[in-house]
Amino acid sequence: MAGTRQGCVFCEVVAGERAAHLVIDAPDVVAFLDVRPLFKGHTLLVPRVHYETLTDLPGEFLGPFFDHAQRLAAAMESVLEAAGSFVAMNNRVSQSVPHLHVHVVPRNRKDGLRGFFWPRQKYESDGEAADYAARLAAGLT
| Burial of residue 55, with CB atoms counted within 10 A of its CB: 0-12 exposed, 13-18 middle, 19 or more buried | exposed
Per-residue pLDDT tens over the stretch 65-81: 999 999 999 999 988 88
> Is 127 domain-assigned?
yes
Mean per-residue pLDDT, 96-119: 83
Confidence of residue 21 (pLDDT cuts 50, 70, 90): very high
pLDDT at 127 over 60: yes
> Is 115 domain-assigned?
yes
> Is 1 domain-assigned?
no
Report how many domains make up the chain.
Answer: 1
Q: 75 lies in which domain range?
A: 9-139
Confidence of residue 120 (pLDDT cuts 50, 70, 90): low
Could you say which DSSP state residue 54 is in? G
> Is 85 domain-assigned?
yes
Per-residue pLDDT tens over the stretch 33-47: 999 898 899 999 999
> Is 45 domain-assigned?
yes
> Is 3 domain-assigned?
no
CATH classification at residue 84 = 3.30.428.10
pTM: 0.83
Q: Which of 14-23, 44-53, 123-132 has the lowest mean pLDDT?
A: 123-132
> Is 2 domain-assigned?
no
**pLDDT value of position 1:** 46
Give the separation between CA 121 and CA 110, rounded to whole angstroms: 24
- For the chain, give the mean pLDDT: 88
Point out the catalytic residue in the list 42, 50, 68, 101. Answer: 101
> Is 103 domain-assigned?
yes
User: Is 101 assigned a catalytic role?
Assistant: yes
What's the order of all strands across the beta sheet hosting 22-25? 22-25, 29-33, 43-47, 102-107, 84-88
